[in-house]
Homo-oligomer: A and B are copies of this chain.
Amino acid sequence: MTTAASGARPDKLGVLGGMGPLATVDFLRKLIALTPAAADDQHIPVIVTSEPQIPPRPAARLDPANPSPLPALLARRDFLVGAGARAIAMPCNTAHFWYDEVTAGLAIPFLHIVDAVIAVLAKRGLGGATVGLIGTRATLEGRLYEAPLTEKGFRCLLPAETVNVELVFPGIKLVKQNKPAEAGRLFRQAAESLLDKGAAVVVLACTEVPVGLSDADPWVAAHCLDPNEALARACVDWAMAARKQAGLA
């Protein structure tokens, strides 16, 4: 099995997915929607591993006694490199806590989901704004977004503990059970609580959240920022630049 078997393309994207599977599909749909293409062959060639048998990321973050996802992440990363990927994206926020280890020794770009969000905030003219954050306990307590956002001059607002326990965490569980509509109602209330407290925008910092809070809803588009979409946007930008550099565009 060689890389050439499925075609060597400068814009071939590897997707390290399955965390969870529905978030991966949501990312792929956004990638397609954001790609300027009028026919099949103008779309970005993608290899996806959505093999969700990866030790849970939040549990591993919260208690080091739990199994680490790192070996599974590294195996999938190497699989994607072997499959000819020229860049990798990972549509899961919490997994980015292992970003440094997963990218160690990697010769191709690995697009970071928080960098993608910061780029969209800047494009929306929200530099230095107050940003609400919805996510897993691991993402919030580990300051995955808060640390880089604060460093770049943003102010971060987190949900009250009751909002997390009654709305956000049950909503994430509902998405994993494939009940996005029920989850959406909980997420909406959580986002509203942050906007009421003065957030200019709410970052949906767990890839399960935008599955419930659809970007097709104008309220969501106006008040929320979807890291899965931001990551897809960064991937499209990368692919178009890679094509141009290779004389393909």
Query: Helix, strand, loop or mixed for chain A's interface?
Result: mixed
Given A38-B176, A82-B5, do A43 and B25 touch, yes or no (CB 8 Å)? no
| A79 at interface by CB-CB < 8 Å | yes
| A1 at interface by CB-CB < 8 Å | yes
Q: How many copies does the complex hold?
A: 2
Selected interface stretch from A12-20, A106-114, A148-156, A187-195: A12-20
| A51 at interface by CB-CB < 8 Å | yes
Selected interface stretch from A26-34, A159-167, A198-206: A26-34
| Residue in A7, A43, A56, A75 whose Cβ sees the most chain B Cβ within 10 Å | A43
| A50 at interface by CB-CB < 8 Å | yes
B51 and A7 within 8 A (CB) = yes
Residues of B within 8 A of A72 (CB): 7
- Chain A residues with a Cβ closer than 8 Å to the other chain, count: 46
A5 and B41 within 8 A (CB) = no
Give A81's nearest chain B residue, CB to CB: B1
Residues of B within 8 A of A96 (CB): none
A171 to B33, CA, bound (A): 17
A5 to B28, CA, bound (A): 23
| A66 at interface by CB-CB < 8 Å | no
B51 and A45 within 8 A (CB) = yes
Residues of B within 8 A of A51 (CB): 6-7, 9, 12, 45-47
Residues of B within 8 A of A176 (CB): 38-40
| A245 at interface by CB-CB < 8 Å | no
A177 to B51, CA, bound (A): 29
| A54 at interface by CB-CB < 8 Å | yes
A75 and B1 within 8 A (CB) = no
Given A40-B21, A40-B52, A41-B53, do A79 and B75 touch, yes or no (CB 8 Å)? no
Residues of B within 8 A of A75 (CB): 5-7
Given A32-B178, A40-B54, A40-B56, do A6 and B79 touch, yes or no (CB 8 Å)? yes
